Structure 1
Amino acid sequence: MKQYLLSIYQPAGEGLPDPEFLAGVMREIGVIRDELTAAGCWVFGQGLHAPETATVLRPKGDEVLVTDGPFVEGKEYLGGFTVIRAADLDAALEWGRRYALATTLPIEVRPFQGEG
């Protein structure tokens, strides 16, 4: 089975949703994770801190410039990710659909290089 990255994008500038809504999202994500694990498809996943906690390293000649914050300003940022194993892109997309419905956020599904 190939591995796929499911990237969860959050709108920039918005705080966390209300606790009741977030609790429901987290419950549904837990159900999906349990099903991925039972199917032998779960590899790894985790949420990320806000983009302003990032440190960016940019090569400049023989030096590396270290700056705070995201690489590019945008309307969305990577808020978390999950790595899964799936038989093919269609199967990975189905898991991605489940995450999109559970989180109400855009999900990018991308295969890793060098596999099958």
Structure 2
Amino acid sequence: MAEYLIFFNQQWVGDHDEEWFQGRVAPSKAVIADLEAAGELVYAGGLVEELDAAFSADATSGETVVTDGPFVETKEFLGGLTIVDVPDEARARMWGARIAEACGWPQEVRPFKPGSLRT
């Protein structure tokens, strides 16, 4: 089995009205239910959109500094993620496509490095 990260940046979502977003809830929950039923879901969740809720930790100077806000100013920021544990890349591609269809916006799928730590 291999773990893959399926994620989107908030800016990929696009501008839609509340009714459109409400129409994405049932398909999105259905995909997550299918992932759980397949025993391939590790985690799924969306992030709070307000960047003032973010904070950063940096230890590159030899001293750890924790500050309010994102680490760097950027035009894109992570909106949500799903981690799957699947037998092969083909299965990860299938789940990435299903999540993209359910959400209504693009998803990027990337494998974790072999031997990554898992709790």
After TM superposition, where is structure 1 displaced by more than 3 Å over at least 4 residues in a row? none
Q: Give the TM-score, by structure 1 length.
A: 0.82
The aligned residue for residue 61 of structure 1 is 61
Supply the distance in 2 between the matched residues of 1:66 and 1:43 (Cα, whole angstroms): 28
TM-score (norm 2): 0.80
Give runs of aligned pairs for residues 1-116 of structure 1, distance below 5 A. 1-11=1-11, 17-50=16-49, 51-114=51-114
Matched positions, count: 113
Q: Which runs of 5+ in 1 are unaligned?
A: none
Q: Deviations over 1:75-109 (max 9, x none)?
A: 32111111112111121011111212222323121
CA RMSD of aligned residues (A): 2.1
Q: Which moved more, 1:20-29 or 1:59-68?
A: 59-68
Greater fraction strand = 1
Give, in angstroms, the shift of residue 48 of structure 1.
0.9
Q: Secondary structure in 1 aligned to 2:28?
A: helix
Measure the CA separation in 1 of the matches of 2:101 and 2:72.
27
Instruction: Give the residue type in structure 1 aligned to 2:61.
Output: G
Q: Which moved more, 1:70-79 or 1:81-90?
A: 70-79
CA distance in 2, matches of 1:61, 1:83: 31
**What runs of 5+ residues in structure 2 fail to find an aligned partner?**
none
C-alpha offsets along residues 10-40 of structure 1, whole Å, 9 cap, x if unaligned? 118x7x8422111111111111011111222
